[in-house]
Amino acid sequence: MSNVAMAFLLTLIAGLATGIGSCIAFFAKKTNTKFLCVSLGFSAGVMIYVSMVEIFQGAKEALIGAMGVKAGNIITVVSFFAGIAIIAIIDKLVPKEENPHEVKTIEDVNSLDITDHKSKQDKMLLRTGLVTALAIGIHNFPEGLATFVSALDNVSLAIPITVAIAIHNIPEGISVSVPIYYATGDRKKAFIYSFLSGMSEPVGAIIGYVLLRNIFNDVTLGILLAAVAGIMVFISIDELLPTARKYGEHHLSIYGLVAGMAVMAISLILFI
């Protein structure tokens, strides 16, 4: 299988994880919040460590080789913070009250009083689910490009990134499907919207590849990798860790973070 096909497959797998979140929401009456908290922290640890230790360094090496030491270092740093700026702007444009940080579980929605003003609440829940699906779709677009570019550069490195993003996407699937399901009573509709929000990841990969394939060289790769590192660090700090803390004790997310870093460090040593 070519690197392009493998990169697209890994991006597709990460996007499909939102569907897993939908299934968990429908069939699990109680969410294991402590496990989810540790898992999200673990994902953040993987993404932060691999971004700063491997992806950023790979970008710098590519740019220094193509542009020289001083210019290569400058462009690497600028691209890193440009990636952060891009995802921060996207995050700013998403309505905060329906931001996917506010993940809802079945228990949260069950606590609503659905006997009074049911029609109004249904509309509110439906709007929440739809806007959340749109917000997650916007967030997932650069994630898809990040996974795809990482896999083009190093498939072995992209596998743990895919797992980390997939874990991150599971509660996002819950946040889309639960309010839509409770508003409409339609599992199929809730699953479809959740599924579509995750599919923006492979769409991001396809669009990125189509736009960049004719200008793909060491400079382009270096800039993209540095930007991807910035995107992944921002997602970890702004989304994964705050969401993890919502699900459990603060220390659990930190333990997961350290464990993720340790596992990523060991895996990188094994791949040398």
User: Can you say which residues are annotated as belonging to the binding site for Fe(2+)?
Assistant: 140, 143, 169, 172, 201
Contacts (Cβ under 8 Å, ≥6 apart) of 164: 42, 43, 44, 46, 47, 260
Supply 31's token pair.
């969410």
The answer to whether the beta carbons of residues 76 and 63 sit under 8 Å apart is yes
Query: What 8-state DSSP symbol labels residue 238?
Result: I
Cα–Cα–Cα angle for 121, 29, 24, rounded to 5 degrees = 90
Query: What 8-state DSSP symbol labels residue 100?
Result: T
Known binding positions: 140, 143, 168-169, 172, 201
3-state helix, strand, coil in the chain (%, to 5): 90, 0, 10
Contacts (Cβ under 8 Å, ≥6 apart) of 70: none
Known binding positions for Zn(2+): 143, 168, 172
CA distance 263 to 83: 25
